[in-house]
Amino acid sequence: MTDTGIGARVLRKEDKRFITGKGQYTDDINLPHQTYAYFVRSPHAHATIKSINTAKAKKMPGVVDVFTSKEVEEDKIGGLICGWLIHSKDGSPMKAGPHPILASGKVRFVGDQVAVVIAETRAQARAAAEAVSVSYGVLPHNVDAAQAMKTKAQVHDVAADNRVYNWSIGDQAATDAAFKTAVHVTKMDLINNRLIPNAMETRAAIGSYDTGSDHYTLYTTSQNPHVARLVISAFHGLAPEHKLRVIAPDVGGGFGSKIFIYGEEVTCVWASKRIGGRPVKWTADRSEAFLSDAHGRDHVSHAELAMDAAGKIIGLKVHTIASMGAYLSTFSSCVPTYLYATLLSGQYNIPNIYAEVDAVYTNTAPVDAYRGAGRPEATYLLERIVETAARELKMDPVEFRRKNFITSFPHQTPVIFCYDAGDYGAALDKALELSDYKNFASRKAASARNGKLRGVGFSAYIEACGIAPSAAVGSLGAGVGLWESAEVRVNAVGTVEVLTGSHSHGQGHETTFAQLVSEKLGVDINNVAIVHGDTDKVQMGMGTYGSRSGAVGMTAISKALDKIEAKAKRVAAAVMEASVDDVDFKDGTFTVKGTDKKMAFGEVALASYVGHKFNSSEIEIGLKETSFHDPSNFVFPAGVHICEVEVDADTGLTKIASYTAVDDFGTIINPMIVEGQVQGGVAQGIGQALIEGAHYDRESGQLSTGSYMDYNMPRAANMPHIENFKLGFTVTKCPSNPLGMKGCGEAGAIAAPPAVINAITDAIGVRDIAMPATPLTVWQAMQPMKRAAE
Amino acid sequence: MENFNYHRPATVNAAAALLKKSKDGSYMAGGHTLLPTMKQGLAKPTDIIDLSAIKGFSGIAVSKSAVVIKAGTTHMEVATSAAVKKAIPALWEMAGKIGGVHVRNRGTIGGSIANSDPAADYPSACVGLGATIITDKRKIAADAFFTGMFQTALKAGEIITAVSFPIPKKSSHMKFPNPASRYALTGVFVSQDSAGKVRVAVTGAGPKVFRIADMEAALSKDFAASALNGIQVKAKGLNSDMHATAEYRAHLIGVLARRAVAAAK
Ligand SMILES: Cc1cc2nc3c(=O)[nH]c(=O)nc-3n(C[C@H](O)[C@H](O)[C@H](O)COP(=O)(O)OP(=O)(O)OC[C@H]3O[C@@H](n4cnc5c(N)ncnc54)[C@H](O)[C@@H]3O)c2cc1C
C-alpha cells in the first residue's frame, strides 16, 4: 500500500488543467480549413415538411453548402438507432419509427433538425440558416405522456396509438391473488417530472474527412467514443471502423446525455466528405441544448401497495406511462423497463410484484438515460408509496421500513435481480444517528416558534449499477455487451500507462484509476497516466454510464494488473535466479523467499524490456497486458437518506434544513471524490424535487423552459448548509468483483427526490405534492387546509 | 448577433447626436439587458452608443434630503456605498439583491430604469421612494416615468443622467425572487416620509411597477404590519405564468408588504 493507494484522499490529478483553463474540450479544438455548421430547427411540434428552399441561403456570404434530407438520402446515410430491443407482453417487437439525421417528410418536436448550413464562420452559418425557408403543414401535436394513447396526434406511422411497447414484468396472477388477502392497500398516482440534463459543456462535434487516406475523424462530446464509432460505422454506413477515429477529449459533464449518438455529430462527419474534406465544426448553444439534448424521466404512474395485518408488504402493482419523446434515442427503450421496473422491490422483501409499462411517443425531445436512469423513477415511486403506506397504517416510517427490509443475502426479487450483499438496517441506524432523528420533535418545535413548518422524510434506495453482464443484458434485448477493457503498459523505466475503455467526463478517473495502480504495483500515482477517449489509442471499450467505471472498468484494470504482476514475477524470478513460486511482490518490491534478494518494480520493468537476463523464447520481452472484463452480476449500492425541510407557510418556500446520506458503496477508492459524487447527485435530486422541471406548453407545443430564465438549476442556496449536509458510509463488499466495489455516481440523484418530497408532505400535512415542489406548488397545496381552518 | 457600428462618446450631447445620426442606434450602459437581446436576435441595432466613457456619468452624492445616483452607476457601486447604506438602507439592500455579482458589476441604474422590465427591482425603489428621474432634457417624477411593460416616458434619444431619491424616515424592500431567473417574482418597496406619508410600490406582479392605495392609506394612519390586516390585494390584472399565478402574486404582495413594514428602518 502506498499513500496514494486505495482509500487515500488524494487531490484530483486532472483538476490543475481544468481550473487553470487548460482543458481541451471539443470546442477548444480547431482544425485547419475548418467550416462551421448551423442547424435549421423546427419551430413546430408536429408538421409535415412541404418544401425546403435553400437557394437564398446558398448565396449568402461565406456559405459553403446547405444540406437537407435530400442529400442524406442521396448518400444513403442511415438513421439513428435504438440499441435495445424491447418486446411487448404480446411478443411483438417495439415500434421504432424512423429517425433520420435530418428530418425527412415530417418534423416531430420543436427543435427537430431540418437542414444544416455549412459556412466559413459560425455567424455566417447562423445568418444563412435564417434564410432557409421551410414550408410546413402544421399537424395536431401532443406533448403529454398521459394523453399519448388517446390523442389524434400520431407521431409515427408504425405506432398507431403512439405506443412503442406495452411491456410487463412479474407475475400478475400471483400479485392479484396477494392483493385479495391484503388488509390495507395504499394507492397513489405519481408523476416523475421531465428534466433537462444541462451539462456545463454543451454538445459539440468536429467531423473531418481526409481525402488522401479516405479516413474520417470525429471529435465529439461523448461518454463512449467506441460505441459512437461502432454505431456510426455499422448503422449510418459512413465509414468502416478502421477508417473512423472517434476522439472524445475533455468532456464537461454528461449525466447520461452524452452516451447517445446524435444526428448533429453524424452530420458533421458526413458533411465533411460531402464538401470535399474540409472539417465541419458544430457547437450547440445553450438554447439548442435545451431543445435537442435527450431529456430525462417523464413518467406518469399508478401504484398500489398491499400490506397484511402485521404491516408486512405482500404485493406491489405498478402501471407506468413513460414518454420517449418524438424518437427512440440510443438506449431509451431500456430505461423505463430493465433499469426501472427491475428496481421496484427496493430494499424490501416484496414477494409479489407486477409492473406494466407503456412507452409512448410524444411531440417532445427524445427522452433517454439521465443520472440514475430508471432507478430514480423506481425509487421515487416506491419510497413515496412506502412512506404514505406507513402514514396510513399509523406506523413510524422508520419502523415500517425496517420491518420490511431484506435481511438475508443473496436475495432473489420477483423482478429479475438477485441482490448479492447489503445491510440495510445498518445504514438506517447510522443515518438516524447522524441526523439526530431522536431530537427531531424539538427541532420541529423550534421551527414552529419561527413560524416555519418542519418535516422529515426518508428514502431507502437501492440501485443496480456496474452495468452489466453481457449475456444477461443480451437476453433482455441489449444490442451490445456491457463489459469493459483495460490495457496496462509498463514502460521500461517503471512508469505506467493505463488505456481504459471507460471515459471520464467529470468523474476523476485520472486519479482513482491511478490510485488502483499505485495500490497494486506500489508506484506513485504521479508515475501513472490514464489514457482514454480515443479509439485510435485505446482498444475497444464500452464507456462510462450507470456507475460502471469502478465496478467494471477498474476490475478490468485490476485483472490486467494481476497479469502484469504475474509476468513481472517470472522476469524477477529469472533475473534473481529463483523459482517463480518463491518470488513475492509487496509494496513495489519483489523478494525471494528465504533470501535477501530483492528487485524494485522499476528494475523488473527495465529487465523485461532489456531482455538480457532471461530466455526470451521462454518469457516474452515486454511488460504489457490486456483484460476484457465481463461482470458476473450487477452491483447493488444502497443506502438511507434523511431530509429535513422547513417550509415558510406564508410563501410556500421550502428550505432544506438538513440532509443526511448514508451509502454503502462497498470499497471506496478515494473518499473525497466519492463524497463529491454524493453531494453532486444529491444536488441534482434536490433540484428535481424542488425546482427543476422541463415544461412544454400544451397549446403551442413549445418548450416553455427553454433557458435559465425559466428552467431552474439548483444553486448553492438550494442546498443545506454544509454543516447540515452529513455524509456517512457503511461497507458491505460486493462479492462479484475482486475489489468489492459497487458504484456511487448516481446514488444521490436516485435517493434525494423522495426524501425531499416525503419531508415536505410531512411538514405541510398533505398526502402528495407534485415535483418540482416550487413555492407556488407548495402554497397551492396548502390552500385547502387554510380554507378549512378559517 | 449582427454587425454594428460601435461608438464611445465622451459627452451626453455627443451621445445624443450620434444616436440621432444613426439609422437604428441604441445607447448601451452595462449591456446586461441589451446584449442578451441582441444575441437572441431580438434587437438588431445598427449602432451601439456606449455611454460608459461619458465624463461624470457615474457617482453617488448624498445630501441632507436626497441621494442622487448618476445614471451610469453600477448596482455594485450602490450596494457597497456606505453613504447610501446610512441614508436609505433599503435602497442599499435592494441594489445588493439584483442578479449576481457579474450582473451587479455591469448593470447600471440608468439602464435598469430605461428598460422598465416589469420584474426589475429599481422601478420599485423609484416609485416606492417617490424619486425624480433626471434626463438631459428635463425632470420626470417616478410616478409618471414607468408607463408600461418595457415602456417609459423617455422620448426618442432622451438620456437619463441621474435619479434623485428623497431620504425617507423609514423604508424597506422585500423581494421574493423568481426561482429560476432571480428577478423579482414579486417585490415590495415601502417608505414613510418625514410627514408620515407612506408609499407602497410593487414590482414583478403586474405589467409595470404600481402602488397600492389602500395599503398606503392604512399605513399612513398607522405604520404597523397589523394595519394591513384585512386588505386583500386583487388578483385581477396581475401576471400569471408558470412560476406564479395571479392569485399567488396577490397573496405574496400582502405577505411581503407586512414583512417590509415590520422590517422598515
Ligand atoms: C443574469 C441577469 C440577472 C439579472 N437579474 C436582475 C434582477 O434580479 N433584478 C433587476 O432589477 N435586474 C436584473 N438584471 C438586469 C440588470 O439589472 C441590467 O443590467 C439592467 O436591467 C440594465 O442595465 P444595463 O446598464 O445593463 O443596461 P443596458 O443593457 O446597457 O441597456 C438597457 C436599455 O436601456 C437603455 N439605456 C441604458 N442606459 C440609458 C440611459 N442612461 N438613458 C437612456 N437609456 C438608457 C439602452 O439603450 C437599452 O435599451 C439581470 C440581468 C441579467 C443578465
Selected residue of B101, B232, B242 to mutate for chain A interface (largest A Cβ count, 10 A): B242
A508 to each of A355, A501, A677, how far by Cα in Å? 37, 14, 10
Put simply, the chain A residues between 280 and 319 with a CB less than 8 A from any chain B CB are: 287
Chain B residues 85-144 with CB within 8 Å of chain A: none
Q: Is residue A614 pLDDT above 80, yes or no?
A: yes
β pairing state of A353-361 and A313-325: parallel
CB contact under 8 A, B243 and A776: yes
Measured in whole angstroms, the distance separating CA B215 from the mean position of its chain's CA atoms is 21
- Residue B110: its pLDDT value, please? 98
Q: How far, in Å, is the centroid of ligand 1 from the Cα of A651?
A: 28
Q: How many CB atoms lie within 10 A of CB B20?
A: 10
pLDDT band at A7 (very low <50, low <70, confident <90, very high): very high
The reply to whether B153 touches chain A by the CB within 8 Å rule is no
Residue of A651, A711, A776 with shortest CB distance to B255: A651
Residues A148-175 pLDDT 10s: 999 999 999 999 999 999 999 999 999 9
Residue A8 confidence class, pLDDT cut points 50, 70, 90: very high
Q: CATH for A31-139+203-283, among 3.30.210.10, 3.90.25.10, 3.90.1170.50, 3.30.428.10?
A: 3.90.1170.50
Which atom of ligand 1 is nearest to B29's Cα? Answer: 30
**CA quadruple A317, A323, A328, A329: dihedral sign:** negative
Query: B180 vs A780: CB contact, 8 Å cut-off?
Result: no
What is the number of the ligand 1 atom nearest to the C-alpha of B121? 11
Residue from the list B40, B180, B252 with its beta carbon closest to the beta carbon of A651: B252
- Please compute the mean of the pLDDT values over residues A212-229 and round it to a whole number: 97
Q: Which atom of ligand 1 is nearest to the CA of B182?
A: 8
Is the four-CA dihedral B94, B97, B103, B104 of positive or negative sign?
Answer: positive
Residue of higher predicted confidence among A582 and A546: A582
Structure ipTM: 0.95
CA distance, residue A650 to nearest chain B CA (Å): 7
Locate the domains of chain B by residue range: 5-49, 60-166, 170-263
Q: For residue A690, how far is its CA from the centre of ligand 1 (angstroms)? A: 29
Q: Which of A195, A710, A777, A782 to mutate to test the interface with B (most CBs of B within 10 A)?
A: A710
Establish if B8 touches chain A: CB-CB under 8 angstroms. Answer: no
The highest-level CATH class for domain A418-463+636-790 is alpha beta
How far apart CA A468 and CA A473 sit, in angstroms, is 7
- Give the Cα separation of B209 and B204 in Å (integer): 7
Residue of the nearest CA to atom 35 in ligand 1?
Answer: B111
Task: Note whether A776 contacts B: Cβ–Cβ < 8 A.
Answer: yes
Q: Does the A483-629 domain belong in CATH 2.60.40.420? A: no
> Ligand 1: distance of its center to the CA of B208 in Å?
15
CATH 3.30.365.10 fits A141-194+295-407, yes or no: yes
Residue with cell 476522439: A247
Q: How far is the CA of B32 from the centre of ligand 1 (A)?
A: 5
The Cα A57–Cα B261 span in angstroms is 60
- In this complex, do B248 and A709 lie within 8 Å of one another by their Cβ atoms? no
- Shortest Cα–Cα distance, B179 to chain A (Å): 6
Instruction: Judge whether residue A537 has pLDDT over 80.
Output: yes
Mutational test site, ligand 1, from B8, B28, B161, max ligand atoms within 8 Å of CB: B28
List the beta strands (DSSP E) in chain B: 5-7, 25-28, 47-50, 60-62, 66-70, 132-135, 139-141, 146-148, 151-152, 160-166, 170-177, 184-192, 198-203, 210-211
As separate numbers, helices (DSSP H) first and strands (DSSP E) second, chain A gives 19, 28
Q: Any idea of the CA torsion for A26, A31, A37, A38, to the nearest 10 degrees?
A: 50
Which residues lie with the beta carbon below 6 Å from any ligand 1 atom? Answer: B 26-34, 36, 51, 71, 98-99, 103, 106-108, 110-112, 114-115, 117, 120-122, 159-160, 182-183
Establish, for the pair of chains A and B, how many residue pairs have beta carbons separated by less than 8 Å: 40
Of all residues in chain B, the one with the smallest CA distance to A690 is B179
| pLDDT at site B41 | 86
Q: How far is the CA of B246 from the centre of ligand 1 (A)?
A: 25
Of the pLDDT bands very low, low, confident and very high (cuts 50, 70, 90), residue A2 is low
If you measure CA to CA, which chain B residue comes closest to A648? B255
Distance linking the first and last C-alpha atoms of chain A: 68
Which of A38, A195, A287, A651 is the best residue to mutate to test the B interface, defined by the most B CB atoms within 10 Å of its own CB?
A651
Cell numbers at A665, concatenated: 458503496
CA B257 to CA B259: how far, in whole Å?
5
Counting DSSP H helices and E strands in chain B, the numbers are 11, 14
Phi, psi of B140 (to 5 degrees): -125, 130
Please check whether residue B248 touches A, CB under 8 A. Answer: yes
Count of residues in chain A: 790
Check CB contact of B38 with chain A, cutoff 8 Å: no
Mutate to test the interface with A, among B1, B117, B181 (most CBs of A within 10 A): B181
CATH of the structural domain B5-49, one choice from 2.60.40.10, 3.30.43.10, 3.60.15.10, 3.40.50.150: 3.30.43.10
**Per-residue pLDDT tens over the stretch A448-496:** 999 999 999 999 999 999 998 999 999 999 999 999 999 999 999 999 9
Which of B179, B242, B255 is opposite residue A695, by nearest beta carbon? B242
Average pLDDT, chain A: 97
Using a CB–CB cutoff of 8 Å, tell me whether A780 touches chain B.
yes
Q: What pLDDT shows up at residue A236?
A: 85
Whether chain B has a CB inside 8 Å of the CB on A711: the answer is: yes
pLDDT tens for residues A254-294?
999 999 999 999 999 999 999 999 999 999 999 999 999 99
Q: Tell me whether the CATH fold assigned to A31-139+203-283 matches the one assigned to A483-629.
A: no
A129 burial via Cβ count (<10 Å: 0-12, 13-18, 19+): buried
Domains B5-49 and B170-263 share a fold: no
Q: Of the candidates A341, A340, A337, A346, which has an alpha carbon nearest to the alpha carbon of residue A313?
A: A346
CATH 3.40.1350.10, applies to B170-263: no
Long-range pairs of B141-149 with CB within 8 A, sequence gap ≥ 24:
B143/B211, B145/B113, B146/B113, B146/B116, B146/B208, B146/B209, B147/B116, B147/B208, B148/B116, B148/B207, B148/B208, B149/B116, B149/B118, B149/B207, B149/B208
pLDDT given at position A95:
98
pLDDT at B1: 76
Q: B60-166 has which CATH code?
A: 3.30.465.10
Which among A481, A479, A375 has a CA at the least distance from the CA of A743?
A375
Is residue B145 helix, strand or coil? helix
Distance between CA A747 and CA A85 in Å, rounded? 27
The domain segmentation of chain A, as residue ranges, is 31-139+203-283, 141-194+295-407, 418-463+636-790, 483-629
Q: Does A691 touch chain B (CB under 8 A)?
A: yes
Q: At what angle do helices A671-690 and A747-764 cross, to 10 degrees?
A: 40
Say whether pLDDT at B108 is over 90.
yes
pLDDT at residue A1 tops 60: no
Which sign does the torsion angle of CA A619, A622, A628, A632 carry?
A: positive
Distance between B136 CA and the closest CA of chain A, angstroms: 34
